[in-house]
């Protein structure tokens, strides 16, 4: 059987069983031979293109991967063999059972801070009340920060307060340095030096404590803390990532601003927006073209390739209609 047929079988299975699963309390289990799943923790590694891509196909039924377990041989289970040939039994050595739960996509689930981060923020406030929320146009989207970001304001003469906060909340040995007006702790930029004050990003302190890379965890309504392991997680593992490029000619250089693109992209995609980055600039002596790479990924809900493509098409239409006098899509 060709691998495309196997994937079609999986996709149709998830689409069908989706109608039977009405909430997140129902587990859907799929067992595959070693290496067929296409995830980094498979017992046998294959190229992703040579796998069944089970996590990606599960999204068509609004399922996310919740956990993975070694296959347990059921007492009444008997392999029927390849196409019914009992002499060619399936090799179940290293087989894994992928356990899925249903969770529909909520694009804007990242627009409010979750309770986990709020608790951390309140603990910081109990030590120092000098905290500011920066305006949306000051957010550094290249670092995947979402409005609003909170900064702890510390006078340079009171830097001991920063050590106190780190010792109480982060509980890690730290080396604090100021490099080019940036506040650096253990090679992580956590803030900036401005007008004799230190502006310390509270989300960066949170990142230090729980060691995560994606700031959308701060806004995920499903995020939870494992205090023993000092980790922040959701129920979703190995969420699919989709990459799209969008390029356009700039018709009016004076009116164009990258912030226009960032604002409309974030407004439309919300928590699905993993990153947006300028990857190429081209000029033909008369006009200039910019190409941006936009990466989609839902960290806590299902997102299929079909949904991702539709979101990108919708984004192109929004950009084309909103900025038709400034840019033209290529």
**pLDDT tens across 68-92, in order?**
988 887 666 666 666 656 566 677 7
- C-alpha 28/C-alpha 100 separation (Å) is 5
pLDDT tens-digit map of 95-154: 889 999 888 776 665 555 567 777 777 877 777 656 655 544 444 444 444 445 677 777
The rounded distance, in Å, linking the Cα atoms of 303 and 326 is 32
Virtual CA dihedral for 154, 160, 161, 164, nearest 10 degrees? 150
Q: What pLDDT, in 10s, does the model give residues 166-214?
A: 777 777 666 777 777 777 877 777 777 777 777 778 878 887 777 777 7
Positions of E strands within the chain: 28-32, 63-70, 96-102, 131-133, 150-155, 176-179, 182-185, 188-194, 197-201, 224-226, 231-233, 242-250, 273-283, 288-296, 327-329
Among all chains, which residue has been given the structure tokens 């006078």?
155
Residue that has been written with the tokens 């780190």 in this structure: 166
What is residue 135's predicted lDDT score, i.e. its pLDDT?
45
Work out the average pLDDT over 265-293. 86
Quick: pLDDT tens for 186-195.
777 777 777 7
pLDDT of the residue at 111? 52
Domains and CATH numbers, the chain: 3-102 (no CATH), 115-231 (no CATH), 242-329 (3.30.70.380)
Query: What is the enclosing helix (H) or strand (E) of 266?
Result: helix 258-269
């Amino acid at each position: 059987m060709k691998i495309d047929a196997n994937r079609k079988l999986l996709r149709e299975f998830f689409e069908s069983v989706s109608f039977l699963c009405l909430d997140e309390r129902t587990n859907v289990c799929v067992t595959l031979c070693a290496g067929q799943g296409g995830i980094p923790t498979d017992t046998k590694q294959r190229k992703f293109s040579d796998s069944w891509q089970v996590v990606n196909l599960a999204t068509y039924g609004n399922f996310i991967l919740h956990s993975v377990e070694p296959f347990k041989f059921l007492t009444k289970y008997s392999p029927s063999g390849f196409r019914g040939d009992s002499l060619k039994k399936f090799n179940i050595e290293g087989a894994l059972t992928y356990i899925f739960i249903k969770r529909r996509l909520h694009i804007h689930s990242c627009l409010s801070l979750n309770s986990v981060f709020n608790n951390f923020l309140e603990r910081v406030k109990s030590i120092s009340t000098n905290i500011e929320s920066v305006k949306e146009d000051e957010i550094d989207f290249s670092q995947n920060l979402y409005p609003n970001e909170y900064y702890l304001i510390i006078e340079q003469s009171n830097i001991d307060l920063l050590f106190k906060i780190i010792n109480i909340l982060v509980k890690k040995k730290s080396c604090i340095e100021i490099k080019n007006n940036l506040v650096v702790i253990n090679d992580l930029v956590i803030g900036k030096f401005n007008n004799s004050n230190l502006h310390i990003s509270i989300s960066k302190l949170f990142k230090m404590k729980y060691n995560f890379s994606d700031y959308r965890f701060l806004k995920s309504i499903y995020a939870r803390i494992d205090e023993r392991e000092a980790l922040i997680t959701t129920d979703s593992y190995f969420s699919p990532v989709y990459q799209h490029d969008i390029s356009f000619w700039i018709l009016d250089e004076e009116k164009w601003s990258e912030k226009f693109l960032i604002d409309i992209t974030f407004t439309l995609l919300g928590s699905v927006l993993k990153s947006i980055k300028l990857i190429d600039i081209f000029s033909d002596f008369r006009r200039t073209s910019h190409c941006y790479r936009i990466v989609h990924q839902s960290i806590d809900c299902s997102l299929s390739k079909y949904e991702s493509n539709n979101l990108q098409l919708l984004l192109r239409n929004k950009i084309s209609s909103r900025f038709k006098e400034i840019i033209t899509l290529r």
